[in-house]
Chains A and B, each alone.
Chain A
Amino acid sequence: MAQPKRDHIIMNEREIRETLIGFVSQIQSDYPDPGSVAVVGIQTGGAHLARRLVSMIRDRTGFEPDLGILDITLYRDDIALEKNQPIIRQTHIPFKVSGKVIVLVDDVLYTGRTVRAALDAIIDFGRPRAIRLAVVIDRGLREFPIRPDYIGRSISTQSRQTVRVELTEEGKPRDRVIISMED
C-alpha cells in the first residue's frame, strides 16, 4: 500500500542561485556576444528562470539579451488525453528568432515531450541559428531523444515520484527543489 508522500529537499536557495550563475558563465563562454543570444522560458517555471537569467546576464555584461516566454499547450501531443481543461497561457516572443542562439529554459526535464513541443513552437517563429536547452533538474526517464546542454543537477528518479522546482515568483517563501517520495 502506498504510504503518505514524503518531501525531500534536493536543492536549496543557494544551490539554485549557483546553478543559474553557472548557466550564465557557460552561456557567456559558448557565446561571448550576448547580442546573439535570446533566452526563452517555458511557462511557467521556466519563464521565471529565464527572466532571472536575462537580468543576471545584463548585470554581468551590461547588455540585456532578448527574453521570450513560451506556452507550449498548443503544441502538446497529449491534449486530447487530458482530463482537466489545459489553460493556455501567454506566448510572447518580442524579437526576431531567425539567426539567434535560443537558450530554452525549463525547470525540470523529464520525458522530453515538453521540450519537443517547445522546439516546434520556436521554429514556427523563425529559423534560429541554434537552440540550446538549460534545465535546473534532469530527472531522467526520457521518452524522446532530447538532451540538455546546461544542467543544474541530474538525478535518477522513478515515474511515480514527482520533482518540482518552487520559486519565490510563484509566491513560495523560498526557492527550492523538492522530490516527493512514496516509500
Chain B
Amino acid sequence: MLPLKSKDLLGIEHLGVDEINLILDTAESFIEVSERNIKKVPTLRGKTIINFFYEPSTRTRISFEIAAKRLSADAINFSTSTSSVSKGETLIDTVRNLEAMHSDVIVIRHSIPGAAQFIGSRLKSRIINAGDGAHEHPTQALLDMLTIRQRLNTLQNITVLIVGDISHSRVARSDIFGFLKMGAKVILCGPPTFIPVEIEKLGVEVEFNLEKAIPRADVIMMLRIQVERQFSMLIPSLREYAKFFCLTPERMKLARPGALVMHPGPINRGVELDPRVADGPYSIILDQVTNGVAVRMALLFLLAGRPGADGNPAPL
C-alpha cells in the first residue's frame, strides 16, 4: 500500500480516492482501540503533536488531543488567548518556534483560508488543517464519510443532502469534495443568499425547497448557522430561516425510511435542527463524534508514523 502523497493534510480537494480509502480503512481499525478498557497503544510514543487553535473549538480540539493520547503521543494544546499571539506575534514566527521545539505534527485551526497551507509549505512538521476560514475542514469530511460508510456500507451512488450556509461553510466544501470523489450524489439546499453562484459546476445539484429535497436523500447533513460570523443581512432572521430550513419531525416524515441525519456540531437547537430530530432515531450525530477520534488517530498515524515526504525515515 502506498503512503499518503503529501506530508500534510490540508484539504480533501487534492486527495485521491485511494488516499481517502486508506484513511477510512485505517480509521475503521482504530475504532476498536477506543473501546478497550485500556484505551491506549504505544504507536506514536515520543512524537509531539501540537494543537494550535486560533478559533474556539470543543469537538475538534478535544478529539485531536484524545487521538494523540490514545496513540501515546505527547499532545500540547494552546490557543491564541493564552499565547504570545495576543502580544502580536505573527503566525509564521509562532509556528517556527513550535518547530524549534521539535514538534512532529502541528494541528492548526485558523480563520484565514490557506493558513494551514501557508505554514505547511514553510515547515518540516506535518500539518493537519483543522479548519481554515471558509476553505476546508478535511477531518470533519473524513469522519462524515466514515460514519456514512459504517451505516450504508458504501458512499457510491448514495444521495447526500447538505442544508444550510454553503457559502461560508468549510465543512460543506470538504464534504462536497469528498462525497463527489467517492461517487455519491450531492444536493445542496438553503436560501439563495447562502448558495454560491455557479456551485453546480462542481457537479452538485441545487434545490432551494427543503421539502422537495428531503425525500431524495439517503443522508441529510444539516449545517450550523454560524451566528458568530455576522452576516445577518443574508437572512431576515433566525426565526425566518428556521421556518423554511429547520429539520423538524414534520419534515422528517417526508424522508426515506432509514435516512440518516447528521450535523457537524455545535447544534443551534431550534434553528437548523429541531431537538426532537437531533435526539431522534434518525440522528447519528454522536456517532460522528465517536468516529472523529478514530479518523484523527488514523491521520496522526499515517502522517507522524511515516517516513518524511523526502523519503528519509522519520526520526525514531
Contact = CB atoms under 8 A, between A and B. Distances in A.
Interface secondary structure of A, over-half rule: loop
Nearest to A117: B42
A84 B2 contact: yes
Contacts of A84: 1-3
Interface stretch (A4-12, A53-61, A118-126, A144-152): A118-126
A87 B42 CA distance: 16
A80 B313 contact: yes
Contacts of B315: 80
A74 B306 contact: no
A102 to B, nearest CB: 16
Contact of B314 (A80, A85, A91): A80
B66 to A, nearest CB: 16
Interface residues of B, number: 28
15 contacts: A74-B42, A79-B305, A83-B307, A84-B1, A85-B1, A87-B1, A87-B25, A88-B25, A88-B26, A88-B301, A91-B33, A124-B38, A124-B40, A125-B37, A125-B38
A89 B41 CA distance: 14
A88 B29 contact: yes
B29 A91 contact: yes
Given A74-B42, A91-B32, 20 more contacts: A71-B29, A74-B33, A75-B41, A75-B42, A79-B306, A80-B305, A80-B315, A84-B2, A84-B3, A85-B1, A85-B3, A85-B302, A85-B306, A86-B1, A87-B25, A88-B29, A88-B301, A90-B32, A91-B33, A124-B38
Interface of A: 71, 74-75, 79-92, 120-121, 124-126
Contacts of B313: 80-81
B43 A74 contact: yes
A74 B1 contact: no
Contacts of A74: 33, 41-43, 71, 301
B33 A80 contact: no
Contacts of A86: 1
B30 interface: yes
User: Which of A75, A83, A85, A86 counts the most B-chain CB atoms under 10 A from its CB?
Assistant: A85
Nearest to A91: B32
Contacts of A126: 37
Contact of A79 (B26, B30, B43): B43
A134 to B, nearest CB: 24
Interface string B110-139: 000000000000000000000000000000
Nearest to A75: B42
